[in-house]
A = this chain, B = another copy of it.
Protein backbone atom coordinates (compact mmCIF):
# COMPACT_ATOMS: atom_id res chain seq x y z
CA UNK A 1 0.00 0.00 0.00
CA UNK A 2 1.18 3.45 -0.93
CA UNK A 3 1.77 5.74 2.02
CA UNK A 4 2.47 9.38 1.47
CA UNK A 5 2.53 12.56 3.49
CA UNK A 6 2.07 16.25 2.80
CA UNK A 7 4.55 18.45 4.64
CA UNK A 8 2.36 21.49 3.93
CA UNK A 9 -0.70 19.98 5.59
CA UNK A 10 -2.02 21.47 8.82
CA UNK A 11 -2.10 17.96 10.26
CA UNK A 12 1.04 16.74 11.96
CA UNK A 13 3.13 14.22 10.05
CA UNK A 14 2.58 11.34 12.46
CA UNK A 15 -1.18 12.01 12.51
CA UNK A 16 -1.33 11.92 8.71
CA UNK A 17 0.54 8.62 8.75
CA UNK A 18 -1.75 7.08 11.39
CA UNK A 19 -4.83 8.30 9.49
CA UNK A 20 -3.61 6.74 6.26
CA UNK A 21 -2.96 3.39 7.88
CA UNK A 22 -6.40 3.40 9.52
CA UNK A 23 -7.89 4.32 6.14
CA UNK A 24 -5.91 1.52 4.48
CA UNK A 25 -7.31 -1.00 6.95
CA UNK A 26 -10.87 0.30 6.60
CA UNK A 27 -10.54 0.22 2.83
CA UNK A 28 -9.07 -3.28 2.83
CA UNK A 29 -5.67 -2.34 1.43
CA UNK A 30 -4.19 -3.55 4.70
CA UNK A 31 -5.50 -6.72 6.28
CA UNK A 32 -5.11 -8.40 9.66
CA UNK A 33 -1.57 -9.81 10.18
CA UNK A 34 -0.19 -7.86 7.23
CA UNK A 35 3.34 -6.57 7.90
CA UNK A 36 4.20 -2.87 7.89
CA UNK A 37 7.56 -1.38 6.85
CA UNK A 38 10.20 -0.89 9.53
CA UNK A 39 10.41 2.56 11.09
CA UNK A 40 13.72 3.18 9.35
CA UNK A 41 12.60 2.03 5.91
CA UNK A 42 9.32 3.92 5.96
CA UNK A 43 11.01 7.05 7.27
CA UNK A 44 13.52 6.78 4.45
CA UNK A 45 10.83 6.28 1.82
CA UNK A 46 8.81 9.25 3.06
CA UNK A 47 11.84 11.43 3.62
CA UNK A 48 11.03 12.00 7.26
CA UNK A 49 12.57 11.10 10.58
CA UNK A 50 12.56 7.61 12.08
CA UNK A 51 11.05 8.88 15.34
CA UNK A 52 8.11 10.46 13.53
CA UNK A 53 7.18 7.08 12.04
CA UNK A 54 7.73 5.47 15.42
CA UNK A 55 5.32 7.95 16.98
CA UNK A 56 2.61 7.11 14.46
CA UNK A 57 3.15 3.38 15.06
CA UNK A 58 2.94 3.84 18.82
CA UNK A 59 -0.32 5.76 18.49
CA UNK A 60 -1.84 2.87 16.52
CA UNK A 61 -0.30 0.41 18.98
CA UNK A 62 -2.07 2.15 21.87
CA UNK A 63 -5.33 1.88 19.92
CA UNK A 64 -4.75 -1.86 19.51
CA UNK A 65 -4.71 -1.53 15.74
CA UNK A 66 -1.17 -2.78 15.14
CA UNK A 67 1.21 -5.08 16.95
CA UNK A 68 4.77 -3.89 17.49
CA UNK A 69 7.51 -6.40 18.27
CA UNK A 70 11.08 -5.51 19.10
CA UNK A 71 12.71 -7.90 16.68
CA UNK A 72 9.86 -9.21 14.56
CA UNK A 73 8.76 -5.84 13.25
CA UNK A 74 5.29 -4.34 12.92
CA UNK A 75 2.06 -5.91 11.69
CA UNK A 76 -1.66 -5.22 11.61
CA UNK A 77 -3.43 -6.71 14.61
CA UNK A 78 -5.29 -9.92 13.84
CA UNK A 79 -8.20 -8.69 15.94
CA UNK A 80 -8.57 -5.44 14.02
CA UNK A 81 -11.97 -5.06 12.31
CA UNK A 82 -13.40 -7.19 15.11
CA UNK A 83 -15.70 -5.61 17.67
CA UNK A 84 -13.34 -5.06 20.57
CA UNK A 85 -15.71 -3.04 22.78
CA UNK A 86 -13.15 -0.57 24.03
CA UNK A 87 -13.86 2.89 25.36
CA UNK A 88 -13.64 4.04 21.79
CA UNK A 89 -17.38 4.36 21.39
CA UNK A 90 -17.49 7.15 23.97
CA UNK A 91 -14.75 9.02 22.16
CA UNK A 92 -16.48 8.46 18.83
CA UNK A 93 -19.78 9.82 20.11
CA UNK A 94 -18.15 13.08 21.19
CA UNK A 95 -16.38 13.42 17.85
CA UNK A 96 -19.65 12.84 16.00
CA UNK A 97 -21.32 15.42 18.24
CA UNK A 98 -18.69 18.01 17.32
CA UNK A 99 -18.90 17.20 13.62
CA UNK A 100 -22.70 17.35 13.62
CA UNK A 101 -22.67 20.67 15.50
CA UNK A 102 -20.28 22.13 12.96
CA UNK A 103 -22.36 20.76 10.08
CA UNK A 104 -25.62 22.22 11.36
CA UNK A 105 -23.91 25.60 11.74
CA UNK A 106 -23.05 25.33 8.06
CA UNK A 107 -26.56 24.44 7.01
CA UNK A 108 -25.92 20.75 6.51
CA UNK A 109 -28.82 18.75 7.93
CA UNK A 110 -29.28 15.16 8.96
CA UNK A 111 -30.26 13.89 5.53
CA UNK A 112 -27.18 15.26 3.77
CA UNK A 113 -24.88 14.24 6.62
CA UNK A 114 -26.18 10.67 6.60
CA UNK A 115 -25.79 10.62 2.84
CA UNK A 116 -22.14 11.61 3.12
CA UNK A 117 -21.51 8.95 5.78
CA UNK A 118 -23.13 6.29 3.59
CA UNK A 119 -21.00 7.40 0.65
CA UNK A 120 -17.82 7.02 2.67
CA UNK A 121 -18.81 3.54 3.84
CA UNK A 122 -19.59 2.63 0.23
CA UNK A 123 -16.19 4.01 -0.77
CA UNK A 124 -14.58 1.73 1.79
CA UNK A 125 -16.26 -1.33 0.30
CA UNK A 126 -15.59 -0.41 -3.32
CA UNK A 127 -12.64 -1.57 -5.40
CA UNK A 128 -9.66 0.48 -6.60
A residues contacting B by CB (< 8 A) are 19, 22-23, 25-27, 63, 65, 80-86, 88-89, 92-93, 95-108, 110, 113-114, 116-118, 120-121, 123-124
Contact = CB atoms under 8 A, between A and B. Distances in A.
A65 to B, nearest CB: 5
A103 B88 CA distance: 8
A47 B67 CA distance: 43
10 contacts: A23-B101, A25-B105, A26-B104, A80-B105, A84-B106, A92-B108, A93-B116, A96-B120, A104-B124, A110-B118
Q: How many copies does the complex hold?
A: 2
Say whether chain A's binding surface is mostly helix, strand, loop, or mixed. helix
A120 B100 contact: yes
A98 to B, nearest CB: 5
Contacts of A121: 100, 110, 113
A91 B113 CA distance: 13
Most chain B CB neighbours (cut-off 10 Å) among A89, A105, A107? A105
A99 B95 contact: yes
